[in-house]
Amino acid sequence: MKSDGTRMRYASHLPIKGVGAAGQARIRDSHVILIGMGGLGCAAAQYLVSSGVGKLTMCDFDTVVESNLARQILYRSQDLGRLKVEVAKESLHILNPETNLELETQRMDDTRMLSSFPACDFVLDASDNYGTRLAVNRVCLSLGKPWLMASCIRMEGQLMLLRPDQPENACYRCTYGQAPDTLEDCPGAGIFAPVAGVVGTSAAHFALACLAGLSVPVGLHLLDATNWDWQTLKPKRNPDCQDCGKRS
């Protein structure tokens, strides 16, 4: 910890078995890349920053529109038309000025991922399309980077921690296969605003626990918010997967 003030800020973490001062120091020294600053990303970013992540790179090329405001809670009416990442940086800096906040305003493709991911410790994908997630999967496999997939729609949420250092586990492509020709989105299918907050906050929990050195369960975690039910599935690795099939 840097100072008495810093120790006080994170004092609630210090008594937790498996976290303590050493785990909090690991969080402080970590760099997380967060892809997507929608409802999931806004919720996740707040807990990553408030919990003391040392560096957060936020990636999003979109601007704030009125339909975002119900669930993307870093933004206000006066922010309409502004880049989401710029507005988020202002809010998050007030929340915790100790976190180094960086912005990426271009679409994250393989080239940008290969350039930026080597310097980070964890990737949190809160984007809204399979193509981006498949690209994250490819690049994280090639670099051995742990990452988390988070998604939500209607009254449903999904979380999946992926660990390339554990080759016995399924990768993202093993679980989901090819990107579909069509993909439902929040404007088309709807999203109950608190569901984005629940899943985004849970994504921050997974990321922070992993960074602190806690044991975090792999697998696919499914939220049915209508019946308030969480299920965990254990997808099987596909030995013929074109992304991870050559891993030993």
Q: Can you say whether the dihedral through the CA atoms of 180, 114, 146, 21 is positive or negative? A: negative
Question: Distance between CA atoms of 138 and 155, rounded to whole angstroms?
Answer: 29
CA 106/CA 84 separation, integer angstroms: 12
Q: Which of 120, 186, 210, 241 is catalytic?
A: 186
Question: Which whole-number Å values give the CA distances from 112 to 35, 62, 162, 171, in the listed order?
Answer: 12, 17, 20, 21
Strands (E), 29-136: 31-35, 55-59, 100-104, 122-125
244 is catalytic: no
Name the 3-class secondary structure at 18.
coil
Active site residues: 186
